[in-house]
Structure formats: structure tokens, C-alpha cells
Amino acid sequence: MMINSNRKLIIKITVVAFILICLGYYNTQHNGENYRIELRKKSEWNFGGLYVKSLNDSSFYAESNTDSVVGINYRKVIPENEQLRLGDLVKIKSIHLGGDTVDVKFINISRARTAKIWLSIIPVAVIAILFFRFFKFDRKSITFKERNE
């Protein structure tokens, strides 16, 4: 029984790896090897989900899980009574100048995301409280059972 399940697992892993290799090969053939280089030469860059890591009067450095940019001339596009701070979540539209440097043409600063994340935890907590009010965990059978109170 154990050998049969291991064989199935190996077949599944092999199939998934083969599919990923085929997708990578297709991307190389369809887009060409210089595809990513050409994307970076694109004059207009739009980014969302960047977190500001450092800043000074003339530029800022922001990064996400996949991208990082240095934005210059951002002060002229920030709305009145707004200020860019460390840790802010920003979305920018910009012109590529070279490397990871961009000239910012539009910036949107979002600070409400943190509040939204914390507010989304409230329904989860309420559901958990209600669940455990009506059910209890039985360690012997490793299942939840209805409370008989």
C-alpha cells in the first residue's frame, strides 16, 4: 500500500514539473529571450503595491515582492496637504529614465489598507467565537462535536 501511494506522488510531482518546464519553454519561444529586457526599456512604467523604504527631498526608494524603484521629482505630483512617509503603500505612474530610476508623473498614497486589514479580522473573530460556543473539540476522535449544554 505504501509503495503504491509513493508512486502516485512521484507521478504527480513529475507531471507538475513537466508542465512548468513546458510553460517556461513556451514563454521563451513565444516572447524571445530579450522579452524581459525590452519590457524594462518601455518608457512608461506603472507600479502598484510598492512600500516606501527610504526617502529624501528629491527621491524615494520603494519596493514590493517583485519590483523596486527609485522615484524622482515626486514632490510636484503629491496632492496638497499630503506627505510621503516611510512604510506608505504607493501606486505610481512614471517615465523610465534608466536602471530602476523613474520620473514620477502620478502618485497615489494609500494609508487605509492597514485599517482594512484589521477590520477584516473582526468577522473572523466573531465567527470563531460563535463556532466554539456551539461546538467543542473532542481529542479522542479528533473531531468537533456539538455542545450538549
Domain range annotation of the chain: 2-37, 43-110, 113-146
Residues 6+ apart with CB under 8 A from 95: 43, 44, 45, 102, 103, 105
Report strand pairing: 59-63 vs 44-55.
antiparallel
Tens place of pLDDT per residue across the chain (149 aa): 455 678 888 999 999 999 999 988 887 777 766 766 666 566 787 888 888 999 888 899 998 888 889 999 888 888 788 888 888 888 999 988 878 888 899 998 887 767 778 888 899 999 988 888 888 888 888 888 888 76
What pLDDT, on the 0 to 100 scale, is given for residue 99?
80
The partner residues of 93 in beta bridges, in order of sequence, read 46, 106
CB of 124 closer than 8 Å to CB of 100: no
Which of 3.40.190.10, 2.40.50.140, 1.20.144.10, 3.20.20.70 would CATH assign to domain 43-110?
A: 2.40.50.140
Cell triple for 98: 534608466
